[in-house]
Amino acid sequence: MKLLVLNGPNLNLLGLREPAIYGKQDYAALLRMIADWGAELGLETDCYQSNHEGDLVDAIQGAYGVYDGIVINPGAYTHTSIAILDALKAVAIPAVEVHISDVTRREPFRQVSYAGMACFAHFIGLGLEGYHQAMIALKEKLEKD
């Protein structure tokens, strides 16, 4: 089972970026955790981060026929990008949405998630552990279906 873990804008600045909201661990630490969780769960994982909406759309399109599942934290594009939503719907690869912070308790403009509309599960406000839970949820779904 092969998973693609996609991160959107500013997630490369984890650790530096608003640590009270996103924590002190950096993006490199997240990549190490994902590799360790993948090994534990028997999942192959590739990670990709971009600050550009079209790059994320390209990565989703490129996942077709290559990956069995997608974990996605689209960052701020969560709340704006119909293009990312459409790409997820187009490839129809099972996808799980992750947000490190609890967006449900933040500003009104964070209350809509377009990408989330194409995801079967959502892990919100669990910190980096949300990526782990997303991987587990995908493994369970892929084994069941």
| Residue 103 near ligand DQA by CB under 6 A | yes
Residue from 134, 78, 73 nearest 99 by CA = 73
Q: Which is nearer to ligand DQA, 76 or 83 (CB)?
A: 76
Chain positions 122 to 141 lying near ligand DQA, rule: CB under 6 A, are none
| Residue 10 near ligand DQA by CB under 6 A | yes
Q: Is 99 a catalytic residue?
A: yes
Using CB under 6 A, which of 12, 78, 81, 139 touches ligand DQA? 78
| Residue 76 near ligand DQA by CB under 6 A | yes
Q: Which of 22, 27, 77, 114 is catalytic?
A: 22
Rounded CA gap, 78 and 120, in Å?
15
Checking 111-114 for CB contacts under 8 A at 24+ apart, the result is 111/79, 112/79, 113/78, 113/79, 114/78, 114/79, 114/80, 114/81, 114/82, 114/84, 114/85
Secondary structure (3-state) at 50: coil
Which stretch in 28-36, 38-46, 47-55, 97-105 sits in contact with ligand DQA by CB under 6 A?
Answer: 97-105
Q: Which of 27, 67, 99, 114 is catalytic?
A: 99
| Residue 73 near ligand DQA by CB under 6 A | yes
| Residue 100 near ligand DQA by CB under 6 A | yes
DSSP E strands in 41-131: the ranges are 44-49, 69-73, 95-99, 121-124
Residues binding ligand DQA (CB under 6 A): 10, 73, 75-76, 78, 99-101, 103, 110
